[in-house]
Amino acid sequence: MGSREDTLVIHEIYASIQGESTFAGLPCAFVRTTGCNLRCVWCDTPQAFHGGTRMDRGDVLARALSFRTPLVELTGGEPLLQPGVFPLMTELCDAGRTVLVETSGEADVARVDPRVHKVMDLKCPGSGESHRNRWDNLGHITPADEIKFVLADRADYEWMRAAIRERKLTDRTPNLLASTVFGRLAPRDLVAWVLEDALPVRVQLQMHKYVWAPDATGV
């Protein structure tokens, strides 16, 4: 009988450009796992909550490597809910890839291979899941990792500002990312607030949404 780590339930594996983080704009293979134990009110991937295909871990690895991108990201859903993700990330690192994992901030990141760049959310109140933040995870965040806030309104911004100051997040990593919920908070407002407070965050737009938006026809 195989172990629980031998297979994964996968929503999709595909190549695109990395839309967020300090790696934004780079070609990347994405492994999107099925399932999440949170329900952020603005979640943009609810289709990954259910269904998916159970695949052998070796097949997931081969498919992710087949795109020949230097970067591979594990995302979801919440990838860290599946035990097979941990050896998969190690195998991707061993294969010479730069590996990112997008994680909610609720799942325990202690077992993540130290070579993997964690892009960890801290859920703001507007998500409805702020009470699920696993603050102990901050002890595993290094300068190679990134902490991401997704902001729906001014109250979320003020919550982020307090978290950065009170929890001394810049001592953990210089990579603090601030995004807006698409269509809910105008990026120009966020930029104005960040400048007013001289807050040490990287404002980011979800680049892939502009590339693939129906009216993004290019030239």
d(CA 150, CA 134): 16
Cβ proximity to ligand SF4: between 65 and 207 the closer is 207
For the record, the structure tokens of 34 come out as: 């099925």
Short-list 173, 183, 192, 216, CA closest to 21 = 173
CA 82, 91, 134, 103 dihedral sign is: negative
38 is a contact residue toward ligand SF4 (CB under 6 A): yes
For 194, list phi and psi in degrees, rounded to 5: -65, -40
Tell me how long the chain is.
219
Cβ proximity to ligand SF4: between 119 and 169 the closer is 119
Q: How far is the CB of 132 from ligand SF4 (least distance, A)?
A: 9
104 is a contact residue toward ligand SF4 (CB under 6 A): yes
77 is a contact residue toward ligand SF4 (CB under 6 A): yes
Segment near ligand SF4 (CB under 6 A); pick from 6-14, 40-48, 185-193, 203-211: 40-48
Cβ proximity to ligand SF4: between 36 and 71 the closer is 36
Cβ proximity to ligand SF4: between 80 and 91 the closer is 80
For 149, list phi and psi in degrees, rounded to 5: -115, 130
Three-class DSSP category at 45: coil
Which residues of the shown chain bind ligand SF4 in the complex (CB under 6 A)? Answer: 36, 38-40, 43, 45, 76-78, 104
